[in-house]
């Protein structure tokens, strides 16, 4: 700096002057640098504040399983009264859906992918709250029933059942007091016997996390053993045999028919051959019920269901 100032500007500067100048410059820029550095931290804090508010504003972030009444000896009537439902408060997934399933009746929901079948089963379990209408079990609004109790009446099998990293036995009992003999019987009824007995420790075998050491079909068989052991009042089978071979499926079908003879059962299946014998078929299209009746009457009327059925039948041929 001294060289520049002396040679170009012809000014002679003392060392002290340069020293003071440099020190002041540094004192000027240091706070500015620090402010810029801290701007980044402030931005981060602003984002975090947003997130904290989001959590504080959550309406229901702890599921209250214990408030409400406990229905005793339920019969298993299910009724939807003008139910409107949307997952995101924007697109209606179910539009004015009404139906009645009487105690002991078997009903199948049929419809294209995305028509709202699984959504209906989610709502019966009250995994989501509906926006309009009412859902009743034994004529009681499910909002008034204890969630824990409600879910204990319902046995549900999904396409991909959840298996805990516990023994097969505990996976079937699920913390309920069930004796080992009943667990064995349930395993036989569900046709899971052959596969469980071939495991090194039988039903004491510890499953891997999420049941990753079992095939999709084996997990479904265990889910069947679960509901046979718990013997709930309402059965819901959502594509429950989709991953099981047709022979084993026919064996399970017989066990289901025996157990569900006097129980309310809901079936969802794309393989329409598995549902032709139900009491009532409810046909869904884009979240609306468009047809209702038994297999014969629906085929005779020649509507949407008969088209689905013919397409299915042709695909088999």
Ligand X SMILES: Nc1ncnc2c1ncn2[C@@H]1O[C@H](COP(=O)(O)OP(=O)(O)OP(=O)(O)O)[C@@H](O)[C@H]1O
Query: Given the complex with ligand X, which of 172 and 242 has the nearer CB atom?
Result: 242
Q: Which does 114 bind (CB under 5 to 8 A by kind): ligand X, Mg ion, none?
A: ligand X
Residue 273: count of CB within 10 angstroms of its CB: 13
Note whether 313 binds ligand X by CB under 6 A: no
Among 102, 118, 152, 306, binds ligand X (CB under 6 A): 118
Whether 161 contacts 171, CB under 8 Å: no
Reported as half-sphere exposure (CB side, CA atoms, 13 A), residue 34 has a value of 6
Residue 113 binds ligand X (CB under 6 A): yes
Task: Decide if residue 117 touches ligand X (CB under 6 A).
Answer: yes
User: What counts of helices (H) and strands (E) characterise the chain?
Assistant: 11, 10
Number of residues that bind Mg ion (CB under 5 A): 1
Strand partners, 285: 288
- Residue 236 CB, nearest approach to Mg ion (Å): 11
Which one, 68 or 161, has the nearer CB to ligand X? Answer: 161
Contact between 161 and ligand X by CB under 6 A: the answer reads: no
- Among positions 170-209, residues that touch Mg ion (CB under 5 A) are none
Between 110 and 183, whose beta carbon lies closer to Mg ion?
110
Binding flag, residue 114, ligand X (CB under 6 A): yes
Candidates 185, 17, 74; CA nearest to 196 is 185
For 265, phi then psi, to 5°, come to -135, 140
Contact between 242 and ligand X by CB under 6 A: the answer reads no
Candidate list 68, 77, 97, 119; residue touching ligand X; CB under 6 A: 119
Residue 87 contacts which entry, ligand X, Mg ion, none (Cβ below 5-8 A, type-dependent): ligand X
Calpha distance 4→8 (Å, rounded): 6
Query: Any idea how long the chain is?
Result: 317
86 binds Mg ion (CB under 5 A): no
Residue 106 near which of Mg ion, ligand X, none (CB within 5-8 Å, type-dependent)? none
**Widest CA span in the chain:** 111
- What six digits make up the tokens of 252? 């399970």
Q: Is 243 an interacting residue with respect to Mg ion (CB under 5 A)?
A: no
Count residues contacting ligand X (CB under 6 A)?
11
User: The sheet that has 78-85: what strands, in order across it?
Assistant: 94-101, 78-85, 132-137, 140-141
Matching residue, tokens 């039988």 = 202
118 touches Mg ion by CB under 5 A: yes
* Smaller CB separation from ligand X, 93 or 272: 93
Q: Does 116 bind ligand X (CB under 6 A)?
A: yes
Cβ contacts of residue 305 below 8 Å, gap of 6+? 110, 281, 283, 291, 298, 299
Cα distance between residue 223 and residue 186, in whole Å: 10
Scan residues 78-107 and list those touching ligand X (CB under 6 A): 87-88, 93
Catalog residues that contact ligand X under the rule CB under 6 A.
87-88, 93, 111, 113-119
Catalog residues that contact Mg ion under the rule CB under 5 A.
118
């Amino acid at each position: 700096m001294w060289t520049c100032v002396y040679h170009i500007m012809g000014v002679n500067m003392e060392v002290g002057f340069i020293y003071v100048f440099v020190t002041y410059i540094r004192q000027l820029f240091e706070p500015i640098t620090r402010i810029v550095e801290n701007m980044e931290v402030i931005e981060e804090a602003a984002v975090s504040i947003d997130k904290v508010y989001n959590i504080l504003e959550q309406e229901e972030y702890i599921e209250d399983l214990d408030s409400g009444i406990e229905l005793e000896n339920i019969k298993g009537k299910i009724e939807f009264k003008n139910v409107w439902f949307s997952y995101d408060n924007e697109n209606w997934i179910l539009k004015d859906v009404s139906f009645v399933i009487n105690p002991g009746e078997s009903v199948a929901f049929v419809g294209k992918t995305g028509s709202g079948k699984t959504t209906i089963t989610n709502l019966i379990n009250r995994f989501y709250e509906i926006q309009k209408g009412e859902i009743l079990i034994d004529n009681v609004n499910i909002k008034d029933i204890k969630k824990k109790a409600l879910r204990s009446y319902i046995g549900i099998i999904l396409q991909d059942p959840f298996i805990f990293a516990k023994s097969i036995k505990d996976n079937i009992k699920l913390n309920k007091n069930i004796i080992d003999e009943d667990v064995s019987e349930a395993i036989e009824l569900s046709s899971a016997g052959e596969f469980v007995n071939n495991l090194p420790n039988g039903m004491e075998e510890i499953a891997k996390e999420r049941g990753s050491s079992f095939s999709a079909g084996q997990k479904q068989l265990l889910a069947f053993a679960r509901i046979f052991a718990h013997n709930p009042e309402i059965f819901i089978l959502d594509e429950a045999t989709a991953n099981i071979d047709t022979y084993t499926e026919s064996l399970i079908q017989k066990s289901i028919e025996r157990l569900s003879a006097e129980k309310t059962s809901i079936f969802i299946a794309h393989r329409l051959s598995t549902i032709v014998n139900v009491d009532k078929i409810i046909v869904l299209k884009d979240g609306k019920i468009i047809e209702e009746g038994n297999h014969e009457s629906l085929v005779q009327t020649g509507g949407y269901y008969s088209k689905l059925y013919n397409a299915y039948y042709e695909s088999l041929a």
